[in-house]
């Protein structure tokens, strides 16, 4: 039987929390995402160790979605078990977020952005998590068929019912972000967070999304800052057996072209000159924007978690280093 968890009393001593937009909520600059490493294919004991070590190191935000696993729902169930057995006494020190917007169950009511789907999904998520409320409830992706008023109305209802404290959106373009923020503000439930994909290899948010988030008084919390592992030392010398490029549907071996690998190696050289890993450099780089309150990291081991959190110990990137990175990325 696991030893009862007692949190490290020094967990808040060194984490530099950041305020999310114009809200009262502060988040750690690195949050733990439970997207791909918290399903039934992974050891529950390892999942537990990662979550508890993150909390001991000051990571107070844990990011989920209804469909995270595999299978869908498994990540919420795993995190719910950890909450029940280890973190229940610390619930008010933790920010739990979840989402709905991708396919979760069959039929016309298990996908996208209808009021029926979103509120039903939130109820299911709360049951899996064993919680009365989540701190942030996101619409996971835009729905081209459902009026935005209905989707944002569902988020407002979730807050009004006390099932979520803050609303968020994910994968919205600039115009959608602005429209969603206006609807939420009019309803008295201002947009807290927009969760877009952002990395050195995917800079689309720099073309209006970050500006729209900032104008709304919200903050960005970015996912895939390591480009599914491409911005790590894992692929510097080829594609290892069992790596994400072999096993994941989100990264393929064909993505790792020689041009990409040359870029990765050049970025790794810059990181080495700074005395840090490529992953640490890539995380620092996305956090350089004042609009980005946090970057979501995954972890398959405690060692990987600790290495990524080491990004917060490095000195700020200089103008010359940022220029060198831009030169490599051109």
Beta strands 61-63 and 30-33, pairing class:
parallel
Reported as a pLDDT band with limits 50, 70 and 90, residue 245 is low
Q: How confident is the model at residue 235 (pLDDT cuts 50, 70, 90)?
A: confident
Confirm whether 245 is domain-assigned: no
What is the rounded average pLDDT for all residues in the chain? 95
> In this structure, is residue 51 part of a structural domain?
yes
| Burial grade of 315 (CB within 10 A; 0-12, 13-18, 19 or more) | exposed
Those residues whose C-beta lies under 8 Å from the C-beta of residue 262, and which sit 6 or more positions away, are: none
Read off the pLDDT of residues 15-39 as tens digits, 9 standing for 90 and up.
Answer: 999 999 999 999 999 999 999 889 9
Model confidence pLDDT, tens digit, residues 58-104: 999 999 999 999 999 999 999 999 999 999 999 999 999 999 999 99
pLDDT value of residue 256: 77
Residue 221's region, left for phi above 0, alpha for psi from -120 to 50, else beta, is beta
Residue 45 lies in domain: 18-229+286-316
Tell me the C-alpha distance between 119 and 95, whole Å.
Answer: 20
Q: Give the per-residue pLDDT at 95.
A: 98
Question: Model-level pTM?
Answer: 0.94
* pLDDT band (50, 70, 90) for residue 239: low
Whether pLDDT at 179 is above 90: yes
Q: Which two tokens stand for residue 69?
A: 């696993």
| pLDDT tens profile 292-310 | 999 999 999 999 999 999 9
Distances (CA, A) of 34 to 18, 73, 203, 245: 21, 11, 23, 19
Q: Is 301 within a domain? A: yes
Residues 191, 214: contact at Cβ < 8 Å?
no
User: Would you list the DSSP string of 117-148?
Assistant: HHHHHHHHHHHHHT-S-EEEEEE-S--SSS-H
Strands (E), 252-298: 292-297
For the record, the structure tokens of 27 come out as 């988040």
CATH code, domain carrying 311 = 3.20.20.100
Q: According to the model, what pLDDT value does residue 329 have?
A: 96
Tens digit of each residue's pLDDT (9 = 90 or more) over 131-172: 999 999 999 999 999 999 999 999 999 999 999 999 999 999
pLDDT at position 234 is 85
Going by pLDDT thresholds of 50, 70 and 90, the confidence category of residue 241 is: low
User: Does 198 reside within a domain?
Assistant: yes
Q: Give the total number of structural domains in the chain.
A: 1
Q: 11 burial class (0-12, 13-18, 19+ CB within 10 angstroms)?
A: middle
Is 235 contained in some domain? no
Mean pLDDT of 268-297: 98
- Is 267 contained in some domain? no
Neighbours of 14 (CB within 10 A): 11
Look at residue 246 and tell me if it is in a domain: no
- HSE at residue 46, side-chain half, CA atoms within 13 A, is 15
Q: Mention every residue, 6+ apart, whose C-beta is less than 8 A from residue 226.
A: 199, 232, 279, 282, 283, 297
């Amino acid at each position: 039987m696991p030893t009862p968890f007692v949190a490290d009393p020094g967990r808040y001593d060194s984490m530099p929390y950041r305020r999310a937009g114009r809200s009262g909520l502060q988040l750690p600059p690195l949050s733990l995402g439970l997207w791909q490493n918290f399903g039934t294919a992974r050891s529950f004991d390892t999942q537990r160790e990662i979550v508890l070590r993150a909390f001991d190191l000051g990571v107070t935000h844990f990011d989920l979605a209804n469909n995270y696993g595999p299978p869908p729902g498994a990540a919420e169930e795993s995190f719910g078990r950890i909450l029940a057995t280890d973190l229940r006494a610390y619930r008010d020190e933790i920010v739990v977020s979840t989402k709905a917007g991708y396919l979760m169950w069959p039929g016309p009511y298990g996908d996208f952005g209808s009021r029926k789907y979103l509120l039903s999904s939130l109820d299911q998520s709360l049951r899996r998590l064993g919680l009365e409320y989540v701190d942030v409830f996101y619409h996971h992706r835009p729905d081209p068929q459902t009026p935005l008023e209905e989707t944002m109305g569902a988020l407002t209802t979730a807050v009004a019912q006390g099932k979520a404290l803050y609303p968020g959106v994910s994968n919205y373009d600039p115009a959608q972000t602005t429209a969603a923020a206006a609807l939420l503000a009019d309803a008295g439930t201002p947009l807290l967070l927009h969760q877009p994909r952002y990395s050195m290899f995917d800079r689309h948010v720099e073309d209006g999304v970050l500006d729209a988030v900032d104008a709304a008084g919200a903050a960005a919390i970015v996912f895939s800052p390591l480009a599914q592992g491409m911005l790590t030392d894992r692929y510097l010398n080829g594609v290892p057996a069992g790596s994400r490029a072999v096993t994941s549907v989100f990264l393929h071996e064909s993505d790792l072209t020689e041009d990409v690998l040359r870029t990765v190696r050049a970025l790794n050289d810059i990181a080495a000159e700074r005395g840090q890993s490529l992953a640490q450099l890539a995380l620092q780089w996305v956090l350089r924007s004042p609009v980005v309150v946090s970057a979501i990291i995954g972890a398959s081991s405690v060692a990987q978690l600790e290495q990524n959190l080491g990004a917060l110990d490095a000195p700020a990137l200089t103008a010359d280093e940022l220029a060198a990175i831009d030169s490599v990325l051109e």
